[in-house]
Amino acid sequence: MAKRELQMKKRMLAILVIFTCIAVLLILRTGYLQTIQGEELQKQAIAQQTQDKQISAKRGTIYDRNGKALAISASVFRVSVSPNIIKEEKNADKVIDTLSSILELDRESVEKKVNSNTYYQDIKRKIEKDVADKILEADLAGVYVSEDTKRYYPYGNFASHVIGFTGDDNQGLNGIEMVFDKELKGTPGRIVSASNAKGTQMPYKYEQYIDAKDGMNVVLTIDEVIQHFTEKYLKQAYIDNKVAAGAACIVMNPKTGEIVAMASQPDFDLNAPFTLDEATQAEIDKLQGDEKKNKQNEALQKMWRNKAVVDCYEPGSTFKIVTASMALEENVVKDSDRFTCTGSKKVGPFNISCHKHAGHGTQTFEQGVQNSCNPVFMELGARIGADKFIEYYNAFGFRDKSGIELPGEAIGPFYTRENFNEVELATSSFGQGPQVTPLQLISAVSAVANGGKLLQPYLVKQLTDQEGNVVQSFETTVVREVISESTSKRMCSILESVVSEGTGKNAYIKGFRVAGKTGTSEKLPRGSNKNIASFIGFAPADDPQLVCLVLLDEPNGDQYFGGTIAAPVVRDILNDSLTYLGVEPEYSGDEVASTEVMVPDVTGSTVDAAKKMILAQNLKVKVIGNGEEIISQVPQGHFSVTENSTVILYTSDTESLVTVPDVTKLGVNEAKNILTNAGLNPKISGIADGDKAGQVVSVKQEPAAGEKVSQGTVVTVEFVHTDVD
């Protein structure tokens, strides 16, 4: 008996110990849950008892410098479902059928989301109001329609590589949209409401509304008008010259560093950034699997590539601006110095050619720049020396990123000091060897134009709130002084002579003093017959307002020299842009003497009175018909023509039509004679009036050959100098 009682006591003691241990563990666990995990568990409990719906913030607008909206957020809607409520209401089939039909979605995909175990599911985003209204009219329990936003670009392809685009979630994926995504996107709001154990929403009093904070606006330095000029002329050059590897253009204010225009070709539609051109897509569609996917991604990346910022190239003769500036600043060349070009120069074991194989003969320093003579620049490079050359190369910013507000900015390779010997120095002096970006080059040339200060180029002028208040401004940043003001002035004068007398004649603009430099570089590997044609120019030469660089990569037209096909593009952009900015032209004596005259409007006048008015303007006159009163005239009144043009006056409804002859690929006199003999008025463009020296040939005409036009119609013929590099 005693033994049995002892066993019982032991058993009870064991049970007591077990229960005590369990109690202690429970106390410890409870304490742990309350003190250590309490906050997290509370959050989970709240999450299970609340419904949390996000409210999209309005993405900020991107404006040009004058307040023109370039990227805006339009109001659209999103459709979402609450699977818990749909299960409770037992209306899943109706919801699935209705949503898949109205939203034009695959039924299986909708079914998967409706029957999911998640609290909240987006069915479709960015739907228009008329579709949203149909969903609301269906009045489906567990289905919600909330406000959403969609990014919209009113000008389609405009400044596509600068502005960039957003993805489905309104996140910036390229350009300014990407770099300033944080500032643009704002902070989403929320609607938090309580729910019961079944997931059913509780009454309104349990709801908390957290306002969305709209994003800031970005004001660019881009001028929408100048950007349009830039894109128009660059695209035409890209097409006309059958450019295979793309084209780029930058227009910069050299006094501030502001980029007022930047364009690359080919461009793309910002409203459909994942859509390739039909020809490219057709080729990709022939592929299968990973190969197709990789080619698709490769084609998109190529289309989105901002050539002006991320591509490095050999600048060729445009780099001679930098070399000449170095030489002047270091006082290793004087205006009185004479150089002799025989067509080549021996450097070490190599005989390095000039672009003019016959040689330029004896010339001054200024003439050497005008002629873009390689031997002159090789001599300048030798005088500067390798150490100083590298020092200036770095100072001009070619070994640094500029800090432009765009993704992917590149830095081109350059020689180490150990590998930079006399041959490398010689070729680098005329732009063969250095690898630079268009942005780096235009920044360096802007320093030459503005008095010697290297400025940081920038694209964003201001950040503003939704009321237009300025939150942050971006100002001109001087990186360093590279050359003196006196060197800058001398270089501006020399570069102006390159346009007026040298290889840059095709950049000439009547009334505006244009300075600039041509460039034609052979791509690697040498002998591939692939070239880059470029021109960089600024105006007015004595007070530069704009610097413009145009680059055409692998032109395959009749010409490939930068002075022939890139210089006219810079000319047209600068001409239109300076006129738009209100820069007054200043005509030289020769230009004033050959200034065009305005045709007077003589309709309704008698024949005698009309003749007197026309002859008084140094114009010729021809009357067709036997009437006494002028009923029509060609050219029309207030039309600008050159002196001695013929005005055709009609006194009857009979109109004399002529066929426009083809005057392309001809000299000035020949083209004029053919048009005049056809009863048409020639108007010469692209060259200085009366400038027929060198190799001048017509490249374009408007109206085109073969068109039927009225006798007396003005035919504009564009000429270019072909004796350029």
What are the CA-CA distances from residue 486 to residues 338, 451, 453, 483, 490 (Å)?
22, 8, 12, 8, 6
Marked catalytic residue, from 56, 80, 264, 317: 317
Structure tokens, 249? 């253009």
In DSSP terms, 718 is beta-bridged to: 685, 700
| Alpha-carbon radius of gyration of the chain | 36
DSSP-assigned letter for residue 317: G
Contact, 696 vs 722, CB < 8 A? yes
Beta carbons within 8 Å of 105's beta carbon, 6+ residues apart: 99, 123, 124
Beta carbons within 8 Å of 26's beta carbon, 6+ residues apart: none
Contact, 502 vs 356, CB < 8 A? no
3-state SS assignment for residue 81 = strand
What CA–CA distance (Å, rounded) separates 443 from 251?
Answer: 10
User: Could you tell me how far CA 483 lies from the centroid of its own chain?
Assistant: 29
Contact, 335 vs 705, CB < 8 A? no
Structure tokens, 355? 């672009």
User: Which has the closest alpha carbon to 317: 697, 720, 724, 695?
Assistant: 724
3-state SS assignment for residue 656 = coil
As a residue count, the chain comes to 725
Backbone phi and psi for residue 176, each to the nearest 5 degrees, phi listed first: -60, -35
User: Could you tell me how far CA 55 lies from the centroid of its own chain?
Assistant: 34
Alpha-helical (H) ranges within 330-481 are 365-370, 374-384, 386-395, 422-429, 438-449
Contact, 631 vs 603, CB < 8 A? yes
Backbone phi and psi for residue 548, each to the nearest 5 degrees, phi listed first: -130, 130
What CA–CA distance (Å, rounded) separates 169 from 319?
Answer: 44
What CA–CA distance (Å, rounded) separates 172 from 163?
Answer: 10
Beta carbons within 8 Å of 677's beta carbon, 6+ residues apart: none
Q: Are strands 657-659 and 247-252 parallel, antiparallel or unpaired?
A: unpaired
Return the C-alpha torsion angle 16, 18, 24, 25, nearest 10: -160
Task: Give ∠ CA 338-340-342 in degrees, rounded to 5.
Answer: 170
Angle between helices 485-500 and 320-329 (to 10 degrees): 140
What CA–CA distance (Å, rounded) separates 452 from 447?
Answer: 5
User: Which has the closest alpha carbon to 470: 220, 224, 259, 217?
Assistant: 217
What CA–CA distance (Å, rounded) separates 219 from 60?
Answer: 10
317 is catalytic: yes
In DSSP terms, 509 is beta-bridged to: 512
Return the C-alpha torsion angle 444, 473, 267, 165, nearest 10: 140
What CA–CA distance (Å, rounded) separates 165 from 59?
Answer: 12
Say which amino acid occupies 250: I
What are the CA-CA distances from residue 450 to residues 121, 134, 445, 541 (Å)?
58, 61, 9, 10
- Residue indicated by tokens 């009093």: 205
Contact, 671 vs 630, CB < 8 A? no
Catalytic residue IDs: 317
